[in-house]
Chains A and B, each alone.
Chain A
């Protein structure tokens, strides 16, 4: 009996050991490749999440790469207490910023185009946004002072200071709003007053910020959009009983149709008839219904709709309490791709001007062992600069990084050259590289042994620096640590050397390379580098100019077939003072050319890179 007792106790305790609570880690972003199609810009998906769940989620699709990232905001702003908030209700880009209404968190979240937090505006029960000049207008179900009539308000907010400047009372539960000719039109839904819905659109003079008119449109107006002719289209939901839903084009027409959502593109208004699960198209000129081939009849709950010049994006909110689906169609009715979203994908916002966005802080769903991204490419003037990769008229730093990616990322197998001493490249993986037992990282170059020797060969050593994304912004702007190679403590190695190259150039051109050596895409006329300079290693053996092969710790020093000779241990990291620095993981790798030697025939010694591999990813 006692043994049985002991077994039970043991069983219970072993259960505890394996099932303890750990630190609560912030929700990750998960990247999924959804399409090979290339479009421009990106698309944000604001998923509402259910009330009280705090699951408003901002997802991002990099349309240039066809990658979908869930919880993008969370990854960009890991320090935001309780994440994005409760019930996302609207998202819009205005100028260089992104604004999102988080209804039950009573705030408008203000972000840069990468969705990094800039600030917030606290507004009670806020609903939708409109912009004009330097002002943002926000509809809210309640005013700053409780109103016995339960009227809502529109707040005017200065986008520079993020302070409320004025407030105007409107009707019951104001939803969408729209600005035309200095006037703001607000839908007064009355959505909280079952059987007593509002049916007006308030017109507010933006100059005086007073309500000048109430237009009777139809019961329960929720959405209002302006078309290319200046008409206002209003979606009235009816009373869900005898009064049917309708779309009202103010002053022109009424179209009896269910209208959960509306999107206008060019001269067409697309209306989501969620009851019959159809997308209907109407001309904005004569309001006639047009053929429209997109089929959404298999949707469970059609929800959001966004019409862009080249695509129509439609979401299915499924059962509201599980992942929704975002579909991308072309106007010919063809579905191009779909992606799983968060709960209730309610609001879509196409962004332009956001440069390439990439998550770096967390593990990727389909993470690759090869590098995926080049952040910086700054070669020092050299014979292969402007050639590897090829510079073309109009290229800039950004496009050169993309060319480097095309050449060496994802095991492409190409080669890039860092030019003279100091030139560098910064790259990363789609996840953090963990510092584990043994070597962590392999960096490929084009070194080779001299026939019959392993002590001599073609070695153009580059020094490796690594960095952890401490500020979690996805950019390599954090502290760098050098991975200490075998010559670090050699007295002939000079540390902290600074050198400036000018456009005129002091590099000796050789006969094979008579193009400019100075990187052409860099507008500045001089480039300054700082780093360590290794002692010259060139020797002449049997009449050949070769280099001594270094023991370990340098890029492009040993052949790629020698795993030990081309791989690095993150435990070698030292800080600027040469003290060992412990890194659990790293996000960014920088390699710079650490030698300064020019040979007669083959030109200067220049580190070349063919790619890199995370040795822990299978």
Chain B
């Protein structure tokens, strides 16, 4: 694909938003693409080797989604864990490999949690998100930091970048959202063009919800007669959170840029806990502060040598307190530091052959203090090094190949090498049909909790190994009347040395062991279709379906040998249908319907009737309008989620909200 044709696709994708802004101002388009260009330069070549799943721009905003986690439900091959409510933890699994095999990148730099290895995606707001991408295997751009070659699944979160039309110097966005369960969510963003090349973005958001949502447990006798039917209100699910971000972007020449991004998130929330017999509320509280500053510099020389430097410092504080009178109190503080450095280089040897080398270093420290026992804090440290080498070949228009090797060294553990091979074959260059395949190995290193948790940690753990095999068939076609993209993939993954908690003797003393092998077979199918109908109507649909088996094959003597692992549904899928109408003045009106289905699954290793969890599915509906007067824009969204009020649980004993409503008013200048 030529760079030009890529821009055209980009244009088609952005058509809606561009059209909305101003369909005559060409320079605004150019301005926009100039910035896109920087991102695109490196990506265009590799684009087809691994096709990411993407949600961006207006499509992202139209989804019935509050956080990144909500949006990721619309991707195939993803299993979400959601403990319910605005404040409930939300993590994802990609292709059933475990959430710790999924890396999440915020503007190109991985978010870490050395303590438990989990990134709570419920904390990342969609309001300043421009794009969410999910890559299976790895991003198929060989010009990336070494660490990016290391995870089995990768989620890239990209925040809004400033776009200025000619003569514009600043943009302001102000938004207010109200909703059920006392949700109040104001958001303000300011973009300032300091010079032609330098711009500043600021974004701040506050979220409050009392989390008091009704939930219902109803059970029937085998005869169909009601056994019990109880509705209660979720308690201690309140959240107060503030997010503030600051970005500085500098673009120079046509090849280089640097940017600095500072992020701060505070929250104070209740942990509502499991609903079990005789327990309707819990008293746990959690205070968090996540701060990071990251800087990125990138440039290109002689049209063939690209260099990128990333630096990050993160500081995360967690305070966990249990107020519950019925339990022994606990009061713990955790403080984490992370320093990260990445240096990546790519050289184009020939037009058809690129090579890259990257080195990353990371330092993690965790201080843990039990405030109740007045014990002196415990400290844990870790040094990690990653060294990657990668190469990409393009054999005319037919075949693209990539191969990478990553060497990982964590502390004194012997360095481990993991390869990855990616190929994309286009039998008929005239048709956008490709067959993509990859094989990749990746390690998931034990977290501080795995290694050192009181009475549980095991310092002798080995990393968990995932081997992925995937084949994909993808087809894409764009005309004036429609855009179509279909793809289907088959994958086979094998996770060995799985780190699991294992009991050691009595009194619930557990330890972590490398004990577990899981065999995963799956099929993902996706169809994205847009139809440009007469009268300026656009119909967009997005269909996703995943079937997968994730079988425990650790030990034939286990009662759960050959059983599906916990919380992995066999079937899952989603449907999004959007009808959008643009008036001749450029105003927008639209209706968005989404349906998410997660099939039956089991909540424990043994697939027995006592561990069975029913399917759940929700219908969400939203209506929106967008009106422009000169350079002022007003947007209004009304969302109804879980339209039919299904009583469901994603995680057993953590009830999810019934029908709920959100209303958003946004102003933009």
Size of B's binding interface in residues, CB under 8 A = 67
**Across the interface, which residues of A come within 8 angstroms of B225, CB to CB?**
470
State A82–B227 Cα separation when bound (angstroms): 11
Q: Per-position contact with B for A36-75: 1 when CB-CB < 8 Å, else 0? A: 0000000000000001111111000000000000110000
**Across the interface, which residues of A come within 8 angstroms of B584, CB to CB?**
none
* B24 interface residue per 8 A CB criterion: no
Contact B503 A317 (CB under 8 A): yes
Q: Which of A20-36 contact B (CB under 8 A)?
A: 20-28, 30
Contact A361 B221 (CB under 8 A): yes
**Across the interface, which residues of B come within 8 angstroms of A321, CB to CB?**
604-605
State A18–B221 Cα separation when bound (angstroms): 22
**Across the interface, which residues of A come within 8 angstroms of B597, CB to CB?**
15-16, 19
Interface centre among B225, B482, B610, B653 (most CB of A within 10 A): B610
**Across the interface, which residues of A come within 8 angstroms of B508, CB to CB?**
51, 320
* B630 interface residue per 8 A CB criterion: no
State A8–B604 Cα separation when bound (angstroms): 32
State A274–B506 Cα separation when bound (angstroms): 8
Contact A19 B615 (CB under 8 A): yes
State A506–B236 Cα separation when bound (angstroms): 74
Stretch at the interface among B153-161, B199-207, B326-334, B461-469: B326-334
Q: Per-position contact with A for B387-431: 1 when CB-CB < 8 Å, else 0? A: 000000000000000000000000000000000000000000000
How many whole Å from A225's CB to the nearest CB in chain B?
16
* A318 interface residue per 8 A CB criterion: yes
| CB-CB nearest in chain A for B558 | A322
Q: Per-position contact with B for A298-325: 1 when CB-CB < 8 Å, else 0? A: 0001010000000000000111111100
Stretch at the interface among A104-112, A202-210, A487-495: A104-112
Size of A's binding interface in residues, CB under 8 A = 87
Q: Which of A452-502 contact B (CB under 8 A)?
A: 468, 470, 472
Interface centre among A26, A82, A432, A470 (most CB of B within 10 A): A82
State A342–B597 Cα separation when bound (angstroms): 30
Contact B326 A86 (CB under 8 A): no
Contact A8 B543 (CB under 8 A): yes
Stretch at the interface among A187-195, A418-426, A560-568: A187-195
* A569 interface residue per 8 A CB criterion: no
Contact B219 A54 (CB under 8 A): no
How many whole Å from A27's CB to the nearest CB in chain B?
6
* B303 interface residue per 8 A CB criterion: no
Contact A86 B529 (CB under 8 A): no
**Across the interface, which residues of B come within 8 angstroms of A52, CB to CB?**
273-274, 276, 653
Given A53-B652, A191-B507, A322-B604, answer yes or no on A106-B326 (Cβ-Cβ < 8 Å).
yes
State A44–B584 Cα separation when bound (angstroms): 76
* B573 interface residue per 8 A CB criterion: yes
Contact B614 A85 (CB under 8 A): no
Q: Per-position contact with B for A309-347: 1 when CB-CB < 8 Å, else 0? A: 000000001111111000000000000000010110000
- Of the candidates A105, A322, A470, the one whose C-beta lies within 8 Å of that of B277 is A105
Q: Per-position contact with A for B611-653: 1 when CB-CB < 8 Å, else 0? A: 0001111000000000000000000000000000010100011
Q: Which of A536-595 contact B (CB under 8 A)?
A: 584-585
- Of the candidates A24, A317, A322, A363, the one whose C-beta lies within 8 Å of that of B220 is A24
* A356 interface residue per 8 A CB criterion: no
Contact B221 A53 (CB under 8 A): no
Given A124-B325, A146-B329, A343-B604, answer yes or no on A20-B505 (Cβ-Cβ < 8 Å).
no
State A52–B617 Cα separation when bound (angstroms): 24
How many whole Å from A539's CB to the nearest CB in chain B?
44
Given A274-B506, A317-B503, A584-B223, answer yes or no on A86-B559 (Cβ-Cβ < 8 Å).
no
State A300–B220 Cα separation when bound (angstroms): 37
Q: Which of B221-239 contact A (CB under 8 A)?
A: 221-225, 227-228, 230
**Across the interface, which residues of B come within 8 angstroms of A246, CB to CB?**
none
State A30–B610 Cα separation when bound (angstroms): 11
**Across the interface, which residues of B come within 8 angstroms of A19, CB to CB?**
571, 597, 599-600, 615
* A150 interface residue per 8 A CB criterion: yes
| CB-CB nearest in chain B for A195 | B375
**Across the interface, which residues of B come within 8 angstroms of A22, CB to CB?**
614
- Of the candidates A173, A195, A196, A323, the one whose C-beta lies within 8 Å of that of B608 is A323
- Of the candidates B217, B279, B455, B573, the one whose C-beta lies within 8 Å of that of A15 is B573
Contact A27 B610 (CB under 8 A): yes
| CB-CB nearest in chain B for A56 | B277
* A601 interface residue per 8 A CB criterion: no
State A362–B227 Cα separation when bound (angstroms): 14
Contact B606 A80 (CB under 8 A): no
* B545 interface residue per 8 A CB criterion: yes
State A56–B279 Cα separation when bound (angstroms): 14
**Across the interface, which residues of B come within 8 angstroms of A4, CB to CB?**
486
* B363 interface residue per 8 A CB criterion: no
* B535 interface residue per 8 A CB criterion: no
Contact A23 B220 (CB under 8 A): yes
Contact A54 B277 (CB under 8 A): yes
| Interface SS, A side | loop
**Across the interface, which residues of B come within 8 angstroms of A260, CB to CB?**
505-506
Contact A16 B617 (CB under 8 A): yes
Q: Which of B496-512 contact A (CB under 8 A)?
A: 502-503, 505-510
* B373 interface residue per 8 A CB criterion: yes
* B609 interface residue per 8 A CB criterion: yes
* A212 interface residue per 8 A CB criterion: no
Contact B615 A340 (CB under 8 A): no
* A387 interface residue per 8 A CB criterion: no
**Across the interface, which residues of A come within 8 angstroms of B223, CB to CB?**
432, 468, 584-585
Q: Which of A76-101 contact B (CB under 8 A)?
A: 78-86
**Across the interface, which residues of B come within 8 angstroms of A142, CB to CB?**
325-328
* B241 interface residue per 8 A CB criterion: no
| CB-CB nearest in chain A for B525 | A8
Contact B543 A85 (CB under 8 A): no
* B478 interface residue per 8 A CB criterion: no
* B560 interface residue per 8 A CB criterion: yes
| CB-CB nearest in chain A for B370 | A194
State A232–B277 Cα separation when bound (angstroms): 35
**Across the interface, which residues of B come within 8 angstroms of A343, CB to CB?**
604
Contact B275 A303 (CB under 8 A): no
State A361–B228 Cα separation when bound (angstroms): 16
**Across the interface, which residues of B come within 8 angstroms of A11, CB to CB?**
545
Contact A23 B224 (CB under 8 A): yes
* A122 interface residue per 8 A CB criterion: yes
State A87–B154 Cα separation when bound (angstroms): 38
Contact A21 B527 (CB under 8 A): no
Contact A12 B278 (CB under 8 A): no
Contact A303 B573 (CB under 8 A): no
Contact B278 A85 (CB under 8 A): yes
Contact B559 A21 (CB under 8 A): no
Contact B527 A86 (CB under 8 A): no
* A240 interface residue per 8 A CB criterion: yes
* B218 interface residue per 8 A CB criterion: yes
State A165–B606 Cα separation when bound (angstroms): 43
**Across the interface, which residues of B come within 8 angstroms of A384, CB to CB?**
none
State A275–B505 Cα separation when bound (angstroms): 7
State A253–B417 Cα separation when bound (angstroms): 57
Contact B230 A104 (CB under 8 A): no
State A585–B606 Cα separation when bound (angstroms): 30
**Across the interface, which residues of B come within 8 angstroms of A342, CB to CB?**
610
* B484 interface residue per 8 A CB criterion: yes
| CB-CB nearest in chain A for B646 | A21
**Across the interface, which residues of B come within 8 angstroms of A51, CB to CB?**
508
* A1 interface residue per 8 A CB criterion: yes
Q: A105-B278, A141-B328 are in contact. List 5 more A-B contacts (CB 8 A).
A: A1-B482, A82-B275, A125-B327, A150-B329, A322-B558
24 contacting pairs across A/B (C-beta < 8 A) = A16-B617, A23-B219, A25-B221, A28-B609, A52-B653, A53-B653, A86-B279, A104-B276, A105-B276, A124-B325, A195-B375, A260-B505, A261-B506, A274-B505, A274-B506, A317-B503, A318-B559, A319-B558, A320-B503, A320-B510, A322-B558, A323-B608, A363-B222, A468-B223
Pairs A-B, 10 closest by C-beta atoms: A85-B277, A86-B276, A124-B326, A54-B276, A82-B277, A105-B278, A52-B274, A260-B506, A320-B503, A78-B227
